[in-house]
Homo-oligomer: A and B are copies of this chain.
Amino acid sequence: MSMLIGFIGTGNMGFPLAQHLILKGFKLKVFNRNPKKTSLLVKQGAQRVSNASDVADNGQIVITMLSDDQALEQIALATDDLARRLGPGGIHLSMSTVSPQTARKIAQQHQLFGVSYLAAPVFGRPEAAKARKLWICLSGSQAAKDRARPILEVLGQGIYDFGEDVGAANVVKLAGNFLIISALEAMSEMLTLAEKNGIARAQIMDFISQTLFACPIYQNYGKALIQELYEPAAFRMALALKDIDLVLQTASESRTPMPLANLAHDRMVSGIAKGRGNMDMIAIAKSIREDAGL
Protein backbone atom coordinates (compact mmCIF):
# COMPACT_ATOMS: atom_id res chain seq x y z
CA MET A 1 0.00 0.00 0.00
CA SER A 2 1.23 3.46 -0.66
CA MET A 3 -1.69 5.68 0.25
CA LEU A 4 -0.55 9.12 1.41
CA ILE A 5 -1.83 10.07 4.85
CA GLY A 6 -1.44 13.28 6.81
CA PHE A 7 -1.48 12.94 10.60
CA ILE A 8 -1.99 15.86 12.97
CA GLY A 9 -1.68 15.27 16.71
CA THR A 10 0.83 12.64 17.80
CA GLY A 11 0.26 12.73 21.54
CA ASN A 12 -0.55 9.80 23.82
CA MET A 13 -3.36 8.60 21.61
CA GLY A 14 -2.17 9.73 18.21
CA PHE A 15 1.38 8.43 18.41
CA PRO A 16 0.64 4.70 18.52
CA LEU A 17 -1.94 5.10 15.76
CA ALA A 18 0.54 6.84 13.48
CA GLN A 19 3.02 4.09 14.22
CA HIS A 20 0.60 1.33 13.24
CA LEU A 21 0.01 3.06 9.92
CA ILE A 22 3.73 3.36 9.19
CA LEU A 23 4.24 -0.31 10.04
CA LYS A 24 1.45 -1.22 7.64
CA GLY A 25 3.23 0.60 4.84
CA PHE A 26 1.30 3.87 4.66
CA LYS A 27 3.34 6.98 3.82
CA LEU A 28 2.81 9.53 6.56
CA LYS A 29 3.32 13.27 6.83
CA VAL A 30 3.11 14.16 10.51
CA PHE A 31 2.61 17.32 12.53
CA ASN A 32 2.57 17.98 16.22
CA ARG A 33 2.69 21.32 18.03
CA ASN A 34 5.65 19.95 19.97
CA PRO A 35 7.82 18.53 17.15
CA LYS A 36 9.78 16.28 19.55
CA LYS A 37 6.75 14.05 19.71
CA THR A 38 7.20 13.19 16.05
CA SER A 39 10.93 12.35 16.19
CA LEU A 40 10.55 8.61 16.59
CA LEU A 41 7.98 8.52 13.80
CA VAL A 42 10.41 10.32 11.52
CA LYS A 43 13.03 7.68 12.28
CA GLN A 44 10.49 5.07 11.26
CA GLY A 45 9.93 6.77 7.94
CA ALA A 46 7.39 9.54 8.47
CA GLN A 47 7.93 13.00 7.00
CA ARG A 48 7.71 15.85 9.49
CA VAL A 49 6.13 19.13 8.30
CA SER A 50 6.24 22.48 10.00
CA ASN A 51 2.68 23.66 9.58
CA ALA A 52 -0.36 21.59 10.34
CA SER A 53 -1.92 22.11 6.93
CA ASP A 54 1.28 20.94 5.23
CA VAL A 55 0.35 17.34 6.02
CA ALA A 56 -2.44 17.59 3.46
CA ASP A 57 -2.13 16.52 -0.14
CA ASN A 58 -4.73 17.13 -2.75
CA GLY A 59 -7.48 14.52 -2.71
CA GLN A 60 -5.79 12.50 0.04
CA ILE A 61 -6.67 11.75 3.68
CA VAL A 62 -5.74 13.68 6.81
CA ILE A 63 -6.23 12.21 10.28
CA THR A 64 -6.54 14.49 13.30
CA MET A 65 -6.29 13.28 16.90
CA LEU A 66 -6.41 16.36 19.14
CA SER A 67 -7.23 17.10 22.75
CA ASP A 68 -10.40 19.14 22.46
CA ASP A 69 -12.79 21.23 20.36
CA GLN A 70 -10.61 24.32 20.58
CA ALA A 71 -7.52 22.53 19.27
CA LEU A 72 -9.47 21.03 16.40
CA GLU A 73 -11.21 24.29 15.51
CA GLN A 74 -7.92 26.13 15.46
CA ILE A 75 -6.50 23.72 12.90
CA ALA A 76 -9.58 22.99 10.82
CA LEU A 77 -11.90 25.96 11.15
CA ALA A 78 -10.02 29.11 12.17
CA THR A 79 -8.38 29.11 8.73
CA ASP A 80 -9.42 27.18 5.67
CA ASP A 81 -5.85 26.14 4.88
CA LEU A 82 -6.39 22.51 5.71
CA ALA A 83 -9.56 22.19 3.62
CA ARG A 84 -7.99 24.11 0.74
CA ARG A 85 -4.91 21.88 0.69
CA LEU A 86 -7.00 18.71 0.89
CA GLY A 87 -9.20 19.96 -1.92
CA PRO A 88 -11.87 18.06 -3.91
CA GLY A 89 -11.98 14.40 -2.99
CA GLY A 90 -9.99 14.96 0.17
CA ILE A 91 -11.04 13.37 3.46
CA HIS A 92 -10.59 14.72 6.95
CA LEU A 93 -10.77 11.74 9.29
CA SER A 94 -11.35 13.34 12.67
CA MET A 95 -10.73 10.99 15.60
CA SER A 96 -10.83 13.45 18.52
CA THR A 97 -13.60 13.55 21.11
CA VAL A 98 -15.44 16.73 20.20
CA SER A 99 -19.02 17.94 20.23
CA PRO A 100 -21.36 17.03 17.37
CA GLN A 101 -21.84 20.77 16.88
CA THR A 102 -18.15 21.28 16.20
CA ALA A 103 -18.11 18.32 13.83
CA ARG A 104 -21.06 19.70 11.85
CA LYS A 105 -19.58 23.19 11.64
CA ILE A 106 -16.27 21.93 10.29
CA ALA A 107 -17.99 19.53 7.90
CA GLN A 108 -19.95 22.45 6.47
CA GLN A 109 -16.83 24.52 5.91
CA HIS A 110 -15.00 21.55 4.38
CA GLN A 111 -17.82 20.98 1.90
CA LEU A 112 -17.12 24.36 0.34
CA PHE A 113 -13.77 22.91 -0.71
CA GLY A 114 -15.06 19.51 -1.74
CA VAL A 115 -13.60 17.85 1.35
CA SER A 116 -15.47 15.12 3.25
CA TYR A 117 -15.40 15.23 7.03
CA LEU A 118 -15.60 11.88 8.80
CA ALA A 119 -16.19 11.61 12.53
CA ALA A 120 -14.29 8.64 13.93
CA PRO A 121 -13.92 9.06 17.70
CA VAL A 122 -12.58 6.07 19.60
CA PHE A 123 -13.08 4.24 22.88
CA GLY A 124 -9.98 3.04 24.64
CA ARG A 125 -6.96 4.37 26.49
CA PRO A 126 -3.42 4.72 25.08
CA GLU A 127 -2.60 1.07 25.87
CA ALA A 128 -5.60 0.00 23.81
CA ALA A 129 -4.36 2.24 20.97
CA LYS A 130 -0.98 0.52 21.15
CA ALA A 131 -2.60 -2.90 21.14
CA ARG A 132 -4.93 -2.04 18.23
CA LYS A 133 -7.84 -2.68 20.57
CA LEU A 134 -9.73 0.57 20.07
CA TRP A 135 -13.41 0.60 19.26
CA ILE A 136 -14.09 3.16 16.55
CA CYS A 137 -17.42 4.92 16.01
CA LEU A 138 -17.84 6.25 12.50
CA SER A 139 -20.19 8.62 10.70
CA GLY A 140 -20.17 10.70 7.53
CA SER A 141 -20.69 10.20 3.79
CA GLN A 142 -20.73 6.60 2.60
CA ALA A 143 -18.12 7.08 -0.12
CA ALA A 144 -15.66 8.64 2.30
CA LYS A 145 -16.29 5.90 4.86
CA ASP A 146 -15.58 3.26 2.24
CA ARG A 147 -12.25 4.87 1.43
CA ALA A 148 -11.29 5.33 5.09
CA ARG A 149 -12.20 1.82 6.19
CA PRO A 150 -8.86 0.13 5.35
CA ILE A 151 -7.09 2.72 7.48
CA LEU A 152 -9.48 2.31 10.39
CA GLU A 153 -9.14 -1.44 10.26
CA VAL A 154 -5.47 -1.01 10.98
CA LEU A 155 -6.22 1.11 14.04
CA GLY A 156 -8.98 -0.64 15.97
CA GLN A 157 -10.59 -3.94 16.79
CA GLY A 158 -14.05 -2.89 15.62
CA ILE A 159 -15.69 -0.20 13.52
CA TYR A 160 -19.27 0.81 14.28
CA ASP A 161 -21.03 2.80 11.58
CA PHE A 162 -23.66 5.32 12.69
CA GLY A 163 -24.81 6.65 9.36
CA GLU A 164 -24.21 9.76 7.32
CA ASP A 165 -24.74 12.53 9.91
CA VAL A 166 -21.20 13.58 10.79
CA GLY A 167 -22.34 14.52 14.30
CA ALA A 168 -23.69 11.04 15.03
CA ALA A 169 -20.44 9.28 15.93
CA ASN A 170 -19.62 12.13 18.30
CA VAL A 171 -22.96 11.77 20.05
CA VAL A 172 -22.24 8.05 20.47
CA LYS A 173 -18.80 8.80 21.88
CA LEU A 174 -20.24 11.28 24.38
CA ALA A 175 -23.05 8.88 25.28
CA GLY A 176 -20.49 6.16 25.94
CA ASN A 177 -18.38 8.42 28.12
CA PHE A 178 -21.51 9.35 30.04
CA LEU A 179 -22.20 5.64 30.69
CA ILE A 180 -18.65 5.10 31.91
CA ILE A 181 -18.75 8.03 34.31
CA SER A 182 -22.21 6.95 35.51
CA ALA A 183 -20.87 3.49 36.24
CA LEU A 184 -18.03 5.10 38.23
CA GLU A 185 -20.50 7.08 40.31
CA ALA A 186 -22.64 3.98 40.90
CA MET A 187 -19.68 1.79 41.84
CA SER A 188 -18.29 4.44 44.18
CA GLU A 189 -21.57 4.95 46.02
CA MET A 190 -21.98 1.19 46.23
CA LEU A 191 -18.48 0.62 47.61
CA THR A 192 -19.01 3.32 50.21
CA LEU A 193 -22.28 1.78 51.31
CA ALA A 194 -20.56 -1.59 51.58
CA GLU A 195 -17.60 -0.19 53.50
CA LYS A 196 -19.84 1.61 55.99
CA ASN A 197 -21.67 -1.65 56.55
CA GLY A 198 -18.54 -3.66 57.25
CA ILE A 199 -18.20 -5.39 53.87
CA ALA A 200 -14.70 -5.70 52.39
CA ARG A 201 -14.55 -3.49 49.30
CA ALA A 202 -12.43 -5.88 47.24
CA GLN A 203 -14.71 -8.79 47.98
CA ILE A 204 -17.95 -7.14 46.87
CA MET A 205 -16.25 -5.68 43.80
CA ASP A 206 -14.95 -9.10 42.83
CA PHE A 207 -18.40 -10.59 43.16
CA ILE A 208 -20.06 -7.85 41.13
CA SER A 209 -17.53 -7.85 38.33
CA GLN A 210 -17.48 -11.63 37.97
CA THR A 211 -21.24 -11.99 37.75
CA LEU A 212 -23.82 -9.33 36.84
CA PHE A 213 -21.26 -6.86 35.58
CA ALA A 214 -18.59 -9.07 34.04
CA CYS A 215 -17.45 -6.51 31.47
CA PRO A 216 -14.39 -4.31 30.89
CA ILE A 217 -15.69 -1.09 32.44
CA TYR A 218 -16.73 -2.63 35.75
CA GLN A 219 -13.71 -4.91 35.91
CA ASN A 220 -11.05 -2.35 35.08
CA TYR A 221 -12.48 0.62 36.94
CA GLY A 222 -13.56 -1.64 39.77
CA LYS A 223 -9.97 -2.76 40.23
CA ALA A 224 -8.70 0.81 40.03
CA LEU A 225 -11.24 1.93 42.65
CA ILE A 226 -10.30 -0.85 45.04
CA GLN A 227 -6.60 -0.10 44.66
CA GLU A 228 -7.22 3.66 44.81
CA LEU A 229 -5.07 4.24 41.73
CA TYR A 230 -5.58 8.00 41.68
CA GLU A 231 -2.12 8.91 40.44
CA PRO A 232 -0.63 8.88 37.91
CA ALA A 233 -3.84 9.59 36.05
CA ALA A 234 -4.87 7.38 33.16
CA PHE A 235 -7.50 10.00 32.38
CA ARG A 236 -7.28 13.28 34.25
CA MET A 237 -10.31 14.59 36.09
CA ALA A 238 -9.97 17.92 34.32
CA LEU A 239 -10.38 16.12 30.98
CA ALA A 240 -13.31 14.14 32.29
CA LEU A 241 -14.97 17.43 33.20
CA LYS A 242 -14.42 18.61 29.63
CA ASP A 243 -16.14 15.47 28.36
CA ILE A 244 -19.07 15.71 30.74
CA ASP A 245 -19.41 19.37 29.77
CA LEU A 246 -19.75 18.28 26.13
CA VAL A 247 -22.40 15.75 27.18
CA LEU A 248 -24.36 18.41 29.05
CA GLN A 249 -24.02 20.94 26.24
CA THR A 250 -25.34 18.40 23.73
CA ALA A 251 -28.10 17.43 26.17
CA SER A 252 -29.11 21.02 26.77
CA GLU A 253 -29.18 21.90 23.09
CA SER A 254 -31.27 18.84 22.27
CA ARG A 255 -33.54 19.55 25.27
CA THR A 256 -32.72 16.36 27.12
CA PRO A 257 -32.67 16.56 30.92
CA MET A 258 -29.86 14.33 32.27
CA PRO A 259 -29.81 14.44 36.07
CA LEU A 260 -27.20 11.72 36.30
CA ALA A 261 -24.88 13.71 34.02
CA ASN A 262 -25.37 16.72 36.30
CA LEU A 263 -24.42 14.64 39.30
CA ALA A 264 -21.26 13.46 37.55
CA HIS A 265 -20.49 17.03 36.53
CA ASP A 266 -20.67 18.24 40.11
CA ARG A 267 -18.40 15.40 41.24
CA MET A 268 -15.73 16.54 38.77
CA VAL A 269 -16.15 20.22 39.66
CA SER A 270 -15.86 19.42 43.33
CA GLY A 271 -12.85 17.20 42.82
CA ILE A 272 -11.07 19.92 40.88
CA ALA A 273 -12.05 22.49 43.52
CA LYS A 274 -10.39 20.24 46.08
CA GLY A 275 -7.18 20.23 44.05
CA ARG A 276 -7.57 16.85 42.32
CA GLY A 277 -7.76 18.00 38.71
CA ASN A 278 -4.62 16.09 37.81
CA MET A 279 -5.70 12.90 39.52
CA ASP A 280 -7.49 10.21 37.56
CA MET A 281 -11.21 10.79 37.25
CA ILE A 282 -11.80 7.80 39.52
CA ALA A 283 -10.79 10.14 42.35
CA ILE A 284 -14.43 11.22 42.48
CA ALA A 285 -14.61 8.20 44.80
CA LYS A 286 -12.61 10.21 47.35
CA SER A 287 -15.35 12.83 47.54
CA ILE A 288 -18.01 10.17 47.82
CA ARG A 289 -16.17 8.64 50.76
CA GLU A 290 -15.62 12.05 52.35
CA ASP A 291 -19.32 12.80 52.09
CA ALA A 292 -19.88 9.68 54.13
CA GLY A 293 -17.40 10.79 56.77
CA LEU A 294 -14.66 8.37 55.72
Q: Is A151 an interface residue (CB 8 A)?
A: no
> Chain B CB within 10 Å — which of A189, A198, A203 has the most?
A189
* Least CB distance, A65 to chain B, in whole angstroms: 20
Q: Is A21 an interface residue (CB 8 A)?
A: no
Tell me which residues from 160 to 216 in chain A have a Cβ below 8 Å from any Cβ of chain B: 160, 162-163, 165, 167-168, 171-172, 174-176, 178-180, 182-183, 185-187, 189-190, 192-194, 196-200, 203-204, 207-208, 210-216
SS class of chain A's interface: helix, strand, loop or mixed?
helix
When distances are taken between beta carbons in the complex, the residues of chain B under 8 Å from A267 are 257
Number of identical monomers bound together in the oligomeric complex: 4
Check A256 against B292 for contact (C-beta < 8 Å).
yes
* Least CB distance, A179 to chain B, in whole angstroms: 5
Give per-residue flags for A213-252: 1 if the beta carbon is below 8 A from chain B beta carbons, else 0: 1111110000000000000000000000000010100111
* Least CB distance, A37 to chain B, in whole angstroms: 28
Cβ 8 A contact of A254, one of B162, B197, B247, B259: B197
Check B258 against A273 for contact (C-beta < 8 Å).
no
With known contacts A165-B198, A196-B256, A172–B207 Cβ distance under 8 A = yes
Check B172 against A211 for contact (C-beta < 8 Å).
no
Check A179 against B172 for contact (C-beta < 8 Å).
no
Cβ 8 A contact of A216, one of B171, B212, B258: B212
* Least CB distance, A265 to chain B, in whole angstroms: 7
When distances are taken between beta carbons in the complex, the residues of chain B under 8 Å from A176 are 207-208, 212
When distances are taken between beta carbons in the complex, the residues of chain B under 8 Å from A263 are 259-260, 262-263
When distances are taken between beta carbons in the complex, the residues of chain B under 8 Å from A293 are 255, 270, 272-275
Q: Is A7 an interface residue (CB 8 A)?
A: no
When distances are taken between beta carbons in the complex, the residues of chain B under 8 Å from A189 are 178, 182, 256, 258-261
Residue of B nearest to A204 (CB): B172
Check A211 against B158 for contact (C-beta < 8 Å).
yes
Interface residues of A (CB under 8 A from B): 100, 123, 135, 137, 158, 160, 162-163, 165, 167-168, 171-172, 174-176, 178-180, 182-183, 185-187, 189-190, 192-194, 196-200, 203-204, 207-208, 210-218, 245, 247, 250-252, 254-263, 265-267, 269-270, 272-275, 287, 290-293
